[in-house]
């Protein structure tokens, strides 16, 4: 595995690889890797000649008083994990390499104005800006994103379509712990008591799915989910929403699949999760 820290060097290596007609699978991450990330790397390895992973904790996507400074980092562990799981190139830029004087940001309307966008209003600007930069640097054949950040996935797909990026976005399923908690680097923040309480998220999603499939009653599903989550006394429920998964709009007679979306604080830790539900 090659570890490259500069844009110039990684672009040169990518150019040489493309001259050999090698396909490139790209997995952008913020590091502190877990099995969810590794599932993306393995999928990319299976479908491409070359796998590039980036690790960059992107300051643009953190708002004031969020956890940029304390976001978990363990680059030595990440390197070992990537070497063991088939990564060919690790792109590891520093802030000053990626952001020399950033005067251009990318914004998106509608899709960013609900769910996580309400409580983190500048978050998706930061995500889109760094992802656009990485796409231009790596020029991947395929790019891999997990469905846990489903709103982010839709937003990135829309950016790729609207701005004509030449990469295919490959959605990958949520990877969960044995008790159902969606894997996340932020799970490491949880105290033992918070970790125990957090399992309610998956159980409430399953119950909401059951209600929707049996009765189609969206409001009842939301109320039952809310009652279940409140029963463990979380610090705060940020949102419980159920939308058409294609566009995050209200469910209507044309909706085939909806998703239940949750964001809940346990202590200072904000966890998100979602679940697909077939309506028709």
Where in the sequence numbering do the catalytic residues fall? Answer: 37
CA within 13 Å, CB half, 165 = 23
Sequence-distant (6+) residues with CB within 8 A of 192 are none
Distance, in Å, from the CA atom of 15 to the CA atom of 75, rounded to the nearest integer, reads 26
Among 147, 209, 151, 156, CA closest to 184 = 147
The Cα 105–Cα 127 span in angstroms is 10
Strands 142-146 and 168-172, by their bridges, are parallel
Q: Indicate the SS3 state at residue 23.
A: coil
CA distance 85 to 158: 30
- Please state the φ and ψ torsions of residue 220, each to the nearest 5 degrees: -65, -40
Residues 265 and 259: their CA atoms lie apart, in Å, by 20
Query: To which residue do tokens 């998100």 refer?
Result: 272
């Amino acid at each position: 595995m090659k570890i490259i820290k500069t844009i110039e060097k990684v672009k040169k290596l990518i150019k040489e690889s493309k001259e050999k007609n090698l396909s490139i699978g790209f997995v952008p991450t913020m590091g502190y890797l877990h099995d969810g990330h590794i599932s993306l790397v393995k999928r990319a390895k299976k479908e491409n000649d070359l796998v590039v992973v980036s690790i960059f904790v992107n300051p643009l996507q953190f708002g004031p008083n969020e956890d940029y400074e304390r976001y978990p980092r363990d680059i030595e562990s990440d390197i070992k994990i990537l070497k063991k799981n088939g990564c060919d190139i690790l792109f590891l830029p520093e802030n000053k390499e990626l952001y020399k004087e950033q005067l251009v940001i990318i914004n998106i309307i509608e899709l960013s104005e609900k769910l996580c966008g309400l409580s983190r209003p500048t978050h998706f600007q930061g995500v889109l800006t760094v992802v656009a930069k990485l796409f231009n640097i790596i020029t991947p054949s395929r790019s891999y994103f997990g469905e846990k950040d489903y709103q982010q996935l839709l937003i990135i797909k829309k950016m790729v379509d609207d701005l004509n990026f030449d990469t295919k976005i490959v959605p990958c399923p949520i990877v969960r712990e044995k008790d159902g908690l969606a894997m996340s680097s932020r799970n490491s923040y949880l105290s033992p008591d918070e970790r125990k309480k957090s399992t309610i998220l998956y159980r409430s999603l399953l119950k909401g799915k059951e209600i929707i499939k049996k009765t189609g009653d969206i409001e009842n599903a939301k109320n039952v989910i809310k009652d279940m989550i409140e029963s463990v006394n979380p610090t705060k429920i940020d949102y419980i929403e159920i939308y058409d998964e294609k566009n995050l709009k209200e469910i209507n007679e044309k909706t085939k699949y909806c998703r239940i979306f949750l964001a809940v604080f346990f202590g200072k830790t904000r966890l998100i999760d979602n679940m697909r539900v077939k309506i028709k």
